[in-house]
Amino acid sequence: MRLAVPRQPARDLGDAHSVVIQLLETPPVAASLALLQPACSGFASPGEFPCATSVDYSGATDILFDVEKNTWRGDSLMKRVTGIGGIFFQSESPEHLYEWYEKHLGIKREPHGQGATFEWLELQSPDGSQPGAKGATAWSIFPRSTKYFGASKASFMVNYRVDDLDGLLEELKKAGVEIDPHREDADYGRFAWIMDPDGNRIELWEAPKDK
């Protein structure tokens, strides 16, 4: 459960009735983080208002208070990585390496032969119910000649799950991160690629939304 304080100029937070509070099960689509932390250091228990008498949060569209974690945050954080979607690496002999991993580590390929899949469950769904949705992490070996890694300097690539691919790419663009203009949309999700400062290619994946 999160509390959202709608955008407004500085207000006296000493009286809870002076601030409009909304209970949200999911955060708003777009928000930014106001610098509230200095005023929120005096919490005695989850859900209690800050001890500071006033805070100027006019620079934010919505500020979220996470009751369970007893912290304030902006929804821009929700555009970041939420987990590992896949681990891919190259080999001079993928078939031999697949056999090695199966023999010594028990990692068996899917029937289609394109790698293994590790399935898991999210701890909870957006509405708070437990357990959450099913998820999966792909594990695959590519031939050294593959073009899938682009201009990466590394022989591996990590796929990161994200909640909001477009939102994250917009933030990364503003920050000057190198972004591959290529995009892929499939029934199993949307994909984009970026490069880190060391020249490692990174795959970003937004899984299909539950209908």
- Residue 98 sits at φ, ψ, to 5 deg, of -60, -45
CATH class entry, domain 80-206:
alpha beta
Residue 67: per-residue pLDDT: 46
87-103 pLDDT per residue, tens = 999 999 999 999 999 99
Mean confidence (pLDDT) of the chain:
73
Q: Do the bridges between strand 156-162 and strand 81-91 make them parallel or antiparallel, or are there none, so unpaired?
A: antiparallel
Residue 24: count of CB within 10 angstroms of its CB: 15
Residue 65 near residue 23, CB atoms below 8 Å: no
User: Which residues on neighbouring strands pair with residue 11, listed in sequence order?
Assistant: 55
| Structural tokens at position 45 | 């228990």
The contacts found for 40-49 with CB under 8 angstroms, 24 or more apart, are 40/71, 40/72, 43/70, 45/70, 46/70, 47/3, 49/13, 49/14, 49/16, 49/19
Q: Do the bridges between strand 156-162 and strand 201-206 make them parallel or antiparallel, or are there none, so unpaired?
A: parallel
Q: Which of 133-137, 141-145, 190-194, 207-211 has the lowest mean pLDDT?
A: 207-211
Name the DSSP class of 37.
Answer: G
Measured CA to CA, the distance from residue 113 to residue 140 in angstroms comes to 9
Question: What is the distance, to the nearest Å, from the Cα of residue 90 to the centroid of all Cα atoms in its chain?
Answer: 26
Q: What would the mean pLDDT of 154-169 be, rounded to a whole number?
A: 95
Which residue did the predictor score with more confidence, 78 or 158? 158
Q: How confident is the model at residue 132 (pLDDT cuts 50, 70, 90)?
A: confident
User: Which residues on neighbouring strands pair with residue 46, listed in sequence order?
Assistant: none
Q: What would the mean pLDDT of 41-59 be, rounded to a whole number?
A: 41
Q: Per-domain residue ranges for the chain? A: 2-78, 80-206
Q: How confident is the model at residue 210 (pLDDT cuts 50, 70, 90)?
A: low
Residue 123: per-residue pLDDT: 82
- Residue 162 sits at φ, ψ, to 5 deg, of -135, 150
Measured CA to CA, the distance from residue 49 to residue 78 in angstroms comes to 23
- Residue 100 sits at φ, ψ, to 5 deg, of -65, -45
Measured CA to CA, the distance from residue 190 to residue 180 in angstroms comes to 14
Residue 133 near residue 159, CB atoms below 8 Å: no
Element (H, E) at 179: strand 178-179
With a pLDDT cut of 70, the percent of the chain lying above it is: 61
User: Which residues on neighbouring strands pair with residue 116, listed in sequence order?
Assistant: 139
